[in-house]
Amino acid sequence: MLAQIDPATLKVSKKISQPGILLSVAQLNDSNQVFVGSSDGMVYSLDAMADKPEPLAMEGHQSYVTGLVQSGELLVSGSFDGKLIWWNSQTREQIRTVDAHHKWIRQLAINQDGTMLASVSDDMVCRLWNLADGSLIKELKGHAEKTPHHFPSMLYACAFSADGSLLATADRVGLTIVWEVETGKELARLESPIMYTWDPKQRIHSIGGIRSVAFSADRSLLAVGGTGKINNIDHLEALSRIEIFDWEKGERTHEFNGDTYKGLVEQLIFHPEDQWLLAAGGDHNGFIKFYDLAEKKVIKQDKAPMHVHDLVVNEAFDTIFAAGHGQLVVWQMDAAKSD
């Protein structure tokens, strides 16, 4: 059983500047060694808690590195270039490169036992891969290639349930699909239409979408994150939004409209004992929030030093490594005080 951590004690313990935009992050085996994927096409390895961190570049992609996952000695990165690269996380050497998708790979997810990798892309296909050898296991197709207004859609997010039996994928128009991993069967479709904004006048363009998904530890609930309706699509002027579903019943159980911070919810993580839900993201600025689902309220929210694109939490759930515009930030929390 994990120690009770108090999100109200959240504080920034480290800020590490890095040129460009950091779009993804992974932690090496619950250590202070982290990897970040950058807009310059590089993956960087660094000791986040060193006095003077020295990022080491890992070259292989041709564009934005928007997905990183790590298990054991393996690190896998995914990029705008459509490639997946397997790396030895200890030596930083490439193991294999796979032409995985013909469009932008938006996000990666790995199951808890480290055997399977999921990738989602703007080709609107989710692919499941054998993490050990890079072979394709199956494809999951269910998201439409076009929006209701006949423009290309995007498949932004994916997440496994804790037991690895379920996978959720989510797209630009606010559709989430829950899949049975073993069979590839579609189990549920959940609609979040408020997260999709169409501007028929100024830009003739759509924006928004579900950018993050997460299952509760007992897999009964599914959280999705994005924004509410956007007033000005050029400036992402909309409050953050989270919807939570009892996915088997198809019922929406919670709605959290951002009351302070604007922008996209880029990452959602449930505490492994469902003590709280963590969310982060931003627009030109950034935010981090914790929610008590039983009380349906915000426990803690803070402005982040930058727009947060991705984050990872350590095994004790008291340290957060977050990647964003121009920097890597470390947050830490204290144990809850006993009554």
* Domain edges within the chain: 14-334
**pLDDT above 90: percentage of residues in the chain:** 83
Q: What is the pLDDT of residues 78-107, one digit of tens each?
A: 999 999 999 999 999 999 999 999 999 999
**Cβ neighbours, 10 Å, residue 33:** 18
Checking if the pLDDT of 302 tops 70, the result is yes
Whether 53 shows a pLDDT value over 80: the answer reads yes
What pLDDT score was predicted for residue 235? 58
Name the band, by pLDDT with cuts 50, 70 and 90, for residue 151. Answer: confident
Q: What is the mean pLDDT of the chain?
A: 93
pLDDT at 223 over 80: yes
Q: Which fold has domain 14-334?
A: Methylamine Dehydrogenase; Chain H (2.130.10)
Residues 299-312 have a mean pLDDT of: 96
Is 261 a residue whose pLDDT tops 90?
A: no
Q: How far apart are CA 130 and CA 31, in angstroms?
A: 25
Whether residue 27 is predicted with pLDDT greater than 80 in this model: the reply is yes
Q: Which residue has the tokens 């992050």?
A: 25
Question: pLDDT value at position 238?
Answer: 79
Q: Which two tokens stand for residue 274?
A: 């469902």
Give the model's confidence band at 253: pLDDT under 50 very low, under 70 low, under 90 confident, else very high: very high
pLDDT single digits (tens) 182-191: 999 999 999 9
- Tens of pLDDT, residues 160-178: 999 999 999 999 999 999 9
Would you place residue 245 in the very low, low, confident or very high pLDDT band (cuts 50, 70, 90)?
very high
Q: Which of 22-36, 219-233, 310-324 has the lowest mean pLDDT?
A: 219-233
